[in-house]
Amino acid sequence: MGMTLTEKILARHAGLTAVEPGQIINAKVDLVLANELSAAVAIAAFRNMKGASRVFDHSKIALVEDHFVPAKDAQSAKLAKLMKDFAAEQQIEHFFDVGRGGIEHVVLPEEGLVAPGELIVGGDSHTCTYGAFGSFATGMGSTDIAAAFALGEVWLKVPCSIKLVYNGKLGEMVYAKDVMLKTVQTLGIDGATYRAIEYHGTTVDNLSITGRITMANMAIEAGAKNGIFHADEKTLAYVRERTDREFVVERADGDAKYERVIEIDVDALEPQVACPHLPDNVHSISEVTREDIPVDQVFIGSCTNGYIEDLRVVAKILRGKRIASNLRVIVNPGSQKVWMQAADEGILSVLAGAGCAVNTPGCGACFGGHMGTLGDGERCISTTNRNYVGRMGSPKAEVYLASPATCAASALAGRITDPRSLALVAA
């Protein structure tokens, strides 16, 4: 019996000719990631490990300050300093401080630290983002990350794989975010628990790298261990532009065994919105706009939709216009490079001119800890990946999830709005 893409990568990193779902393996890692929150616990655990004084390879660890940047108080500054000091002590090559990095999952691919066929673990649940590049990437607890710091190995149970096949052409103002929200609705928030989601089909073949990143990023919202795409020429062009190191491109075998095969046709797909308080409480925009739903805040950014491609969509919609007077719009570019490119293209001026607040690159309001936290009774539409109770601040707030286009259209109207209505007006 052949192997899935995830099984192929895990087998090679475990030094085995084959693996099967449910098998426990020790696998060597190509990269270990932590941010200032997960690193604090991981560093403490590392220091308590008997015999652990040096990391296994200072070139295969990435530490990124991205949740509280710049630090918002003395405690967050303490966390940042702890990680910075550890990076200096261990001579970590890939340390990204405020002003030189951004969101971890945006920065690492930009810097050429992610490549096809690799095994990447991180102290953040959205580490699954790197599956967009044909790698096995998954989030782990901080104690597991500490062990990976020390040994360069992780203990894993090989997941079953679910094959998702997407066919059809995306309509106007319909994006990868809409496709993935529909996918999470189809699977449910626990429908892929400890499974690998393997993306296939003409629709995803035609997606940009950014679109694939969005979909891989949100695999965890269906409970998946990882989400993964096959590397194609787009992938290889992106990666080879950023690194010259060797990597192995794997492909699933033709006779690979999948737990389920699910086909999704996107020809008739509308823009989608995840309503409070679950990422799988997804409805089409035409359903949502039957009610008049005003918003207090629009947030654009995160590791899901903080890329230059996303900001271009928003700028195109907002250019020459002003956001509604009854709300605030907060934009966090995903990285310093995204911020600089947006500046070069005039996007930042468009956003500021429309009345948006453009922040330092970082996670910002996404996790409810910094730069845009919601208060009691407030409602936000956001390009982020989660909308659980209290996710963006007050447990009495409401969060809706949507694409950058839907968020930008809603910013102009002051209420959740179908972005296609703007296209019709323009026509």
- CATH 3.40.190.10 corresponds to the domain 273-426: no
- Please give the model's pTM, rounded to 2 decimal places: 0.94
| Assigned CATH topology for domain 5-246+257-264 | Aconitase; domain 3 (3.30.499)
- Residue 50: per-residue pLDDT: 87
Say if residues 235 and 112 touch (Cβ distance below 8 Å).
Answer: no
The pLDDT of 271-282, averaged and rounded, is 97
Read off the pLDDT of residues 70-99 as tens digits, 9 standing for 90 and up: 999 999 999 999 999 999 999 999 999 999
Judged against a pLDDT cut of 60, whether residue 424 lies above it is answered with: no
pLDDT of residue 427: 41
Between helices 308-318 and 336-344, what is the axis angle to 10°? 40
Residue 168 phi, psi (nearest 5): 115, 175
Portions of the chain given CATH number 3.30.499.10: 5-246+257-264, 273-426
In this prediction, residue 161 has a pLDDT band, given cuts at 50, 70 and 90, of very high
- Per-residue tokens: 352: 């500021």
Q: What's the pLDDT score for residue 166?
A: 98
Q: How far apart are CA 20 and CA 2, in angstroms?
A: 10
Instruction: Report d(CA 349, CA 355) in Å as an integer.
Output: 10
CA distance 383 to 406: 9
**What pLDDT score was predicted for residue 70?**
93
Candidates 379, 112, 122; CA nearest to 226 is 122
* Mean pLDDT for all residues in the chain: 96
Confidence of residue 106 (pLDDT cuts 50, 70, 90): very high
**What pLDDT score does 210 carry?**
97
